[in-house]
Structure 1
């Protein structure tokens, strides 16, 4: 047996450089590069290995460990999970910073390999700098905190253990049903220890991503359920995107006259212009999808994990006889909603099911309902595009506060409504441009209002709805598809929480465009608290007028985000009205450097729910009449919702 003596870290780099995936006969190098913020627990081990011989792996310099891991997650998502960028950090705070990103990847089923440094396996210098000590066990370090948010976790305490650890890491990362975050903790002394590694460990490995079809019995079960349905509705989930099943789903719906609606993860898997595409569904869904969903006697979930936003907390499907079918590569997700299940690849299953239903001569009982629902929503879209804040209009959301609007206008000069801005942006952007979002009220407006006929043009992280993902996500999408323009849709609150990787975008000369909606607060959560009878508490950006005051009850705090972005080296603009926004968008497209448009957006001008409900915890005892009313309404809705 031929062997090569090298350190554990050197062996890790060489192994990663030889991993490939194959899907539908197309082979792709699986590991693109490595993102890192070097610290003392990683720089002398993995850092030395990368410096000596990184092979074909690019090394990227992150600014914040959470941010760089979000970049890697977005990269893998935009690559349809066929390529990854592992992330390496020091021990302690560097590692802990990546825990949020690990959860984000796992919830969204996106492959993310994390390589945090760890305390010494030999324990000679314990406790080392940044080591968390637990009296109950000296084996516990910061990296144990990754266990609940990762799909696979390991710690390499001997150099030869690297081989089984990495084979198992690849098993999970390349499995469509199991993928998510993987953490391989690297004790800093072991990183530098040498071992005679067998050369076969470094051979080229091709991990095949296959298309399993459900067993015949399950195919019979779901076909039987569909044949009995008069008004079925298909849910297009993220699994449709990763299976590249958009065309198959459209063909399926057209063949049997079945409408379909999109989840946040599923949007852009299919063409928005399809006559059967109703758009976004659920708590952030639109009028067309939600009205049809209320009537459906069968819900066919394809590649969806059926989250509370998709099902409007299990209240959306109001037909008393409604049943569920679930097509999913994951048996865990397929079992949800007590569905008739078929465990298999979305594309392969839809194609097989199309043949089966065609042979049975099936067609749904829909008449003009689909076209009528779409026409009603188009009318609403036209209203939103032309919406201006004016007292004569009904509020788009219940928690309107005219005094705040007037104060905002006086401070910023802004007069742009969020919905009209989004309508203009959609009109101005090319269909192939990628929009990235994650948190606040923007995902709801985007799921309702955004349309595209280009695959993977809508990049929304809404499984974890992680504030701070947006700008890092835009960089990840740009690294994945550098030929396309990428736009980060981000609120001012999320921007201030985490925007460090915009500097990495500048460093890598990867142009991203930041569309920053500034409404002086956490507008989405402000709506939620005020519409449930709670006071305006710590969700708007206000001064504390009096040091003894319990509340931030002073004036709004304006921020010149354009000036701050200019200091980083971005090309920046401020848009206070639609003309300025239009001019900025036109000029930003001409730029080669990353851009930021500071859009002074009137508070309370986002869309509200369309015939949907979202279950949130509300106080059952309160002195406030508004809270009492909100609780009563919540309980009434809860009694009408499904339990499982």
Structure 2
């Protein structure tokens, strides 16, 4: 068989269901081999979108999403989405076509050294220079992509190698388990918690990655410890639980920072520093950290680790439960923090202002979507509002990319989310700036018959940058742009298009969108003057 055919067999052996990408001249052997494969190739309109889809699929399934591009501009386009998945710890395998080995020693049409280009944004990568190594390369790429902490790997396939004849077969797939922490470490961790007067948990995305949410919830109920979530850890504990202090991550003071300032021990579980800088919630560097994760903590002066508890999060929490007493006392100091944060959402439920306030948009969205449905937020001012106010009862029901945090992820991410979770409603929450970066994937959703909902917050500019400019300089600089008629644009792609013209329109529009079970686009003007009002409000919080 050809090398390309063997590579496809190896991917099938790993259980790959989809490859997202854009075909090119240098990967035509691989594209041809896929015609005889069980793997479905999902054609996208941009390589970055393909990687966003693969990363989201990897985050939701725990299996590496696979994306493909040709050499040169195809590979450089793919790079952003690969870097995004790697920093968010989403398992992903990127495959790039490449110039033949016979022209890699000189300046050549569309040729860049992709192994070196991808090296900083992947866990591991390699070029297939000889035909026989294909099974080893694919097995290693898959194994390292899912190994803690998960991330991106990259395979570079020169076109002359792809067409070569080869004999071989896929390697056997093997599992891998994480170790448990030593018993002495578990006992030391228990002592730290017992000695603390006001311990507080910061829950990160690693809890969900490690499928530890059930044991985590048991641990919280036993210890009665309050829980703050990172943007990517949302839902590890339901917002309905009295011990949930909701979400941290917005820079500066917030209701949740009152919880951190009260605490004398912060227990970080499955938390990655890339999610939210410790200087935002431990500014004086004086609150010790109990770090429970799969790897040692990143070195940071605002993250003073008293003890690392390293290994399988689920198993280590289970062992920790055994040596901690059962508590029946809910800490009273968290009650007012919860009340203030939840009140903020409810008080805008009947707001009639137009354009709509961010709080009103989120209130309506939260009322319409079921707890199991998925909202995926793009990057922009709306991301900060969604993180603070879209409260979740289950993990991975509000997807926020907060590592690389690349704009443009929501629409392609929603497509992948609907493929991974077809029985849940999926809403892409976009700003107009982020939507225009990958909006062509509306056609992909229609072609695949995926009933996603796109909820566009339209402000005709880069709202988050405007917010920062106003805070620092009290004036704005080069953040405005024009927009098309989004309802007409949606119709042209085959979406149902809806325009919000008064505040009372949004909730019925969302309800109709859910009931239609077809691709729906909702154009909703947003009043971002609320950004600076929030900034002023948070300045006056008295813990």
Out of 442, 460, 480, the position equivalent to 1:540 is 480
* 1:133-152 alignment runs, 5 A limit: 141-152=113-124
Contact 1:286 1:377 in 2 (8 A): no
**1:516 aligned to 2:442?**
no
Out of 55, 61, 64, the position equivalent to 2:46 is 64
How far apart in 2 are the matches of 1:525 and 1:323?
A: 34
1:435 maps to which residue?
375
2:132 maps to which residue?
160
Please report how far the alpha carbon of residue 352 of structure 1 lies from its aligned counterpart in structure 2 after TM superposition. 0.8
TM-score by length of 2: 0.93
> What do residues 446-466 of structure 1 show as CA deviations (whole Å, max 9, x unaligned)?
121112323421111111111
How far apart in 1 are the matches of 2:451 and 2:525?
A: 23
1:582 maps to which residue?
507
2:144 maps to which residue?
172
How far apart in 2 are the matches of 1:226 and 1:72?
A: 39
Out of 353, 378, 382, the position equivalent to 2:346 is 382
* 1:155-554 alignment runs, 5 A limit: 155-177=127-149, 179-197=150-168, 201-202=169-170, 204-205=172-173, 207-283=174-250, 287-307=254-274, 309=276, 311=278, 314-317=279-282, 321-333=286-298, 337-339=303-305, 340-358=307-325, 367-387=331-351, 414-533=354-473, 535-541=475-481
Out of 31, 35, 41, the position equivalent to 2:26 is 41
Which 5+ residue runs of structure 2 have no aligned equivalent? none
How far apart in 2 are the matches of 1:321 and 1:88?
A: 47
Please report how far the alpha carbon of residue 578 of structure 1 lies from its aligned counterpart in structure 2 after TM superposition. 2.1
Please report how far the alpha carbon of residue 217 of structure 1 lies from its aligned counterpart in structure 2 after TM superposition. 3.3
How far apart in 1 are the matches of 2:483 and 2:59?
A: 35
1:616 maps to which residue?
none
Please report how far the alpha carbon of residue 128 of structure 1 lies from its aligned counterpart in structure 2 after TM superposition. 4.7
Please report how far the alpha carbon of residue 49 of structure 1 lies from its aligned counterpart in structure 2 after TM superposition. 1.4
Structure in which a larger fraction of residues adopt helix: 2
**1:103 aligned to 2:83?**
yes
Please report how far the alpha carbon of residue 320 of structure 1 lies from its aligned counterpart in structure 2 after TM superposition. 7.3
How far apart in 1 are the matches of 2:204 and 2:432?
A: 29
> What do residues 236-267 of structure 1 show as CA deviations (whole Å, max 9, x unaligned)?
10001111222222222222221001011111
Q: Residues 603 and 174 of structure 1: is their aligned pair in 2 closer, same or farther, counting only changes over 3 Å?
A: closer
Please report how far the alpha carbon of residue 346 of structure 1 lies from its aligned counterpart in structure 2 after TM superposition. 1.6
Q: Residues 237 and 308 of structure 1: is their aligned pair in 2 closer, same or farther, counting only changes over 3 Å?
A: closer
How far apart in 2 are the matches of 1:324 and 1:454?
A: 26
Contact 2:50 2:68 in 1 (8 A): no
Contact 1:487 1:514 in 2 (8 A): yes
**1:112 aligned to 2:92?**
yes
Contact 1:328 1:334 in 2 (8 A): no
SS at match of 2:25: coil
> What do residues 480-534 of structure 1 show as CA deviations (whole Å, max 9, x unaligned)?
0111110000000101122222211111111110000001111111010121016
SS at match of 2:233: coil
1:600 maps to which residue?
525
1:25 maps to which residue?
none
Contact 2:349 2:364 in 1 (8 A): yes
SS at match of 2:102: coil
Which 5+ residue runs of structure 1 have no aligned equivalent? 1-5, 20-28, 133-140, 390-413, 542-556, 614-644
Count of residue pairs brought into register by the alignment: 536
Contact 1:575 1:600 in 2 (8 A): yes
SS at match of 2:64: coil
1:566 maps to which residue?
491
TM-score by length of 1: 0.79
